Chain A
Amino acid sequence: MIQLEKRRNISKFWTTLTPVIAVFLTMSFGGLMFGLLLGDFSSAFGAIKLIFWDPLFDENFAPYARPQLLVKAGPIILIAIGLSIGFKAGIWNIGAEGQYILGAIFGASIALSLYPQESILIFPAMILAGALGGFIWALIPALLKVYFKTNEILVSLMLVYVAENILASVSQGLLRNPEGMGLPGSRNLKDYPSAHNSEIIPNSGMHWGVLTAFLAVILAYFLFLKHQKGYEIRLAGEAPKAAYFAGINPSKTIIFCMGMSGLLAGMAGLFEVAGPAGQITMSFNSGYGFTAIIVAFLGRLNPLGILLAGLLMALTYIGGEIAQLMLGLPGASIQLLQGMLLFFLLATDIFTNYRFKSRSS
C-alpha cells in the first residue's frame, strides 16, 4: 500500500525537476494530439521538433525566429514577474490583460497627442504613462479589496472585459488615425521616430521592453532574496497570521503587490504598442496577460525560473506559427498545448509537496 505524506519543507530537488518533467509530458501528449489531428502519427515527432527545436536551430527558421523569441518573451516575462509578486503573497491578480491594454492606451495617447513633434522626452513620458495606466487599472481591484474585502480575482477579471471595450472604443474614436480613411486603428507609431520603441541592436529583437523585462527579473531577484519587502510578501502568503502579528500591514501588501503587477503589465503594453504592434487596434493585445499566468507558475514564482519559462512560452508561440504555416496545424492547438503545460506542472507538483511512502498493511 502506497501512502502520501506531506513534506515538512517543500523539496528543492523536485521543485526544479517537475517543470522539466511537465515540459516533456506536454511534448509527448502534444505529439499524440498532433498525430491525431494530422491523421499520421509518424509526423507527430516532426511537429514537436518544428515547435520546440527548429525555431532555434534550423537554418531556415532561426534567422527570423531567434529575434522573435525575444520580442514575444519580453512582455510575457515582464507581466509574469509582476504577477509572481502578488501570487507569492496570495493575491490573485488575473486581470493583467486589462492592465496591459490600459497601459498601451495611456502610453500611446501621449505620443498621439504630441504628434508630429519630435523630442527625446516623448518616449520616456510614454513609458511613465503606460506604467501609470496599468497601475491605476490594478489599483481598482486592490482598493476594493482593501476597503470592502471584494474578491480581487473576479474584479480584476471583469475589468479585462471593460478594458477590451475601452480599447474598441478608442481605436474607432478618440485615438483613430485621422488620415486612416475611416478605418479603425491609430497612427502607426513605427512611423513616428520619437515614439517608436525601436530595437536597441538591429535585428536582434532586443527592444526597450525586453531590456526592461531583464531588469525586472534582476530587481525581483533582489527583492525576494535581499529586501525586507520581499520577505514580508512571502510571509504574508505563507503565514498570513504570523505576518499580521509581526506588524506587516496586509492592506499595504495588497496595494504594493497589485500596484507593482499592474505597473509592469502596463509598461509591457506600452512597449508592445509602440514597438512590435505599432498601433492601437481592436486586437493588438494577444492574450499575453493570460499566458503570463502560466509562465509565473511554470517558473515557480522564481524570477530566474520565470525568465526561462517566458522564453519557453515564446518558443511555443513562434514554433506554433511555423507549425501552422508548414503543417496547417490550427492556431488553437498551441493554446491547448500551453494549457496542457500548466496542467502537467500542477499534476507533478505532488512530488514537491508530498512524499510517497510504502506501508505494509
Chain B
Amino acid sequence: MVIFGIDLVLLISALMISATPVLLAAIGEAVVEKSGVLNLGVEGMMITGAVIGFIFAVNTQTPIYGFICAAIAGALLSVMFAVLTQYIMSNQVATGLGLTMVGLGLSALIGKPYEGIKSPTLSKIEIPILSDIPVLGPMIFSHDAIVYFSVILVATVAFVISKTRIGLVLRAVGENQEAAHALGYKVVRIRFLAIMFGGATAGIGGAYISLARVPQWTEGMTAGAGWIALALVVFASWKPWRVLLGAYLFGGITVLQLNLQAIGVAIPVEILSMSPYLVTIVVLVGISLFGHHTAPGSLARPFHASQ
C-alpha cells in the first residue's frame, strides 16, 4: 500500500518503533502522577537509561542486559528524586529539573568513550500465525520484544490502576493524601515505589532510543523525548490507554515528517523537524480547552505527616 510515495505498512511499523521510547516513559510518569507526584526529571532518567543501556549492551553484546541495566539505572536516579521530595520535602518542580540536568551531565560524561560505536540490536519476534496476516502482520506483529513489552505494560498498568486494590490505594494517595494517610496508607512509601517504577520505565525507554531506534550513542540524543512524555500524560488525562494512543499519534507525526524530509517535499527541513513540538503544544491547548480537568487532586503537593 503506497500513498503519495509513502509505504503505509512501513509507516505504521516505523511509527510503533518511534513511539515506544516516549510510550514507556509516559506510562511510568502516568503512574507517578497518579500517586500525586510530578517528576520533571523524565528527560534525565531517559538519557541515563540510554547511555547505561548502551554501555552494557555493547560490553556484553546482549541487548537485553542493556535494557535491564537501563531500568536499574533509571530507578536509581529516581531514588535521588524520591528521597529529596518525599523525605527532605524539596520542591518537586526544582528537583525534577535538577534531575534532568544531572542526568544530561552524567550521561555525557560516561558516554564519551562510546561515541561512534554501533550497538547490537534486538532481533524481531514474528508472532506465529498473526504475523502471516497480510498487511496487518508485518505492520503490527513483527517487532522486537520491547515494542510488545511496552504494549503489555500499558495493558497491565491500565488493569492494575482501575481493577485492583493496589491501584485503588495508589489513586487514593494521589487524589487526597490527607484522607489516604488518615486511612492508614503509607503515603510516602507508596509514592516512593511509584517514582521508582517511573524511573525504571523511563530508563528502558531511553535505552530503546540508543539500542533500537538509532542504534548508537550520541550526547543529548533523547532530544526532548522526556518532555514530550510529560506532555503525553496531560494529553492522556492520566489514562493509560490514552497514553498509548497519544504516543502512537506522536510517533506517527515524527515518522511522517521524517518520510516527508526523505522524499524531499517542498517544506523546509526545520519546519518539519519542529512539527512534533508544535503539534504537542497545539494538542496541549486542545486538551485544556475541551478535556476534563482530571489531574490527580494532590499532584505536586508536598506531604508531611505533621501537617
Residues of chain A whose beta carbon lies under 8 Å from any beta carbon of chain B: 3-6, 37, 92, 94, 144, 148-151, 153-155, 157-159, 161-162, 165-166, 168-169, 173, 290, 293-294, 297, 330-340, 342-343, 346-347, 349-350, 353-354
Binary contact readout B270-294 vs A (1 if CB under 8 angstroms, 0 otherwise): 1101100110110011001100010
- Please give, as numbers and ranges, the residues of chain A lying within 8 Å of B278 by CB-CB distance: 158, 162
* Chain B nearest Cβ from A281, distance in angstroms: 15
Q: Which residue of A lies closest to B83 (CB)?
A: A347
- A161-B224, A161-B274, A330-B108 known, 20 other contacts, Cβ within 8 Å: A6-B304, A6-B307, A37-B109, A148-B289, A150-B284, A157-B227, A158-B280, A158-B281, A159-B277, A159-B281, A165-B270, A168-B270, A294-B101, A332-B105, A336-B109, A338-B105, A343-B80, A343-B95, A343-B102, A350-B90
Q: Is the CB of A151 within 8 A of B284?
A: yes
- Please give, as numbers and ranges, the residues of chain B lying within 8 Å of A157 by CB-CB distance: 224, 227
Chain A contact residues: helix, strand, loop or mixed: helix
In the A-B complex, the 7 residue pairs with the closest CB atoms: A336-B105, A332-B108, A335-B105, A339-B101, A339-B102, A169-B270, A165-B274
* Chain B nearest Cβ from A69, distance in angstroms: 22
Q: Which residue of B lies closest to A354 (CB)?
A: B89
Bound-state CA distance A165–B224 (Å) is 13
Q: Is the CB of A335 within 8 A of B288?
A: no
User: Can you give 23 A-B contacts (C-beta < 8 A)?
Assistant: A6-B306, A94-B97, A144-B281, A144-B284, A144-B285, A151-B288, A154-B234, A158-B227, A158-B281, A161-B224, A162-B274, A165-B273, A169-B270, A332-B219, A335-B101, A339-B105, A346-B84, A346-B91, A347-B84, A347-B88, A347-B90, A349-B90, A350-B90
- Please give, as numbers and ranges, the residues of chain B lying within 8 Å of A353 by CB-CB distance: 89
Q: Is the CB of A161 within 8 A of B109?
A: no
Bound-state CA distance A3–B285 (Å) is 44
Bound-state CA distance A294–B93 (Å) is 12
Binary contact readout B212-244 vs A (1 if CB under 8 angstroms, 0 otherwise): 000000010001100100110010000000000
Q: Is the CB of B285 within 8 A of A162?
A: no
Q: Is the CB of A150 within 8 A of B285?
A: yes
Pick from A92, A173, A333, A349: contact of B109, CB under 8 Å: A333
- Please give, as numbers and ranges, the residues of chain A lying within 8 Å of B284 by CB-CB distance: 144, 150-151, 154-155
- Please give, as numbers and ranges, the residues of chain B lying within 8 Å of A144 by CB-CB distance: 281, 284-285, 288
- Please give, as numbers and ranges, the residues of chain B lying within 8 Å of A343 by CB-CB distance: 80, 84, 95, 98-99, 102
- Please give, as numbers and ranges, the residues of chain A lying within 8 Å of B103 by CB-CB distance: 339
Pick from B97, B227, B304, B307: contact of A154, CB under 8 Å: B227
B94 at the interface (CB under 8 A from A): yes
Q: Is the CB of B285 within 8 A of A330?
A: no
B118 at the interface (CB under 8 A from A): no
Q: Is the CB of A158 within 8 A of B231?
A: yes
Pick from A4, A162, A168, A339: contact of B304, CB under 8 Å: A4
- Please give, as numbers and ranges, the residues of chain A lying within 8 Å of B270 by CB-CB distance: 165-166, 168-169
Tell me the residues in window 50-89 of chain B with beta carbons closer than 8 Å to chain A beta carbons.
80, 84, 88-89
B106 at the interface (CB under 8 A from A): yes
Q: Is the CB of A92 within 8 A of B93?
A: yes
- Please give, as numbers and ranges, the residues of chain A lying within 8 Å of B102 by CB-CB distance: 336, 339-340, 343
Bound-state CA distance A155–B270 (Å) is 19
B5 at the interface (CB under 8 A from A): no
Tell me which of B40, B93, B277, B307 has the highest count of chain A C-beta atoms within 10 A of its own C-beta: B277
Q: Is the CB of B94 within 8 A of A342?
A: yes
* Chain B nearest Cβ from A359, distance in angstroms: 11
B134 at the interface (CB under 8 A from A): no
- Please give, as numbers and ranges, the residues of chain B lying within 8 Å of A3 by CB-CB distance: 306
- Please give, as numbers and ranges, the residues of chain B lying within 8 Å of A37 by CB-CB distance: 109
Q: Is the CB of A350 within 8 A of B88?
A: yes
Binary contact readout B190-228 vs A (1 if CB under 8 angstroms, 0 otherwise): 000000000000000000000000000001000110010
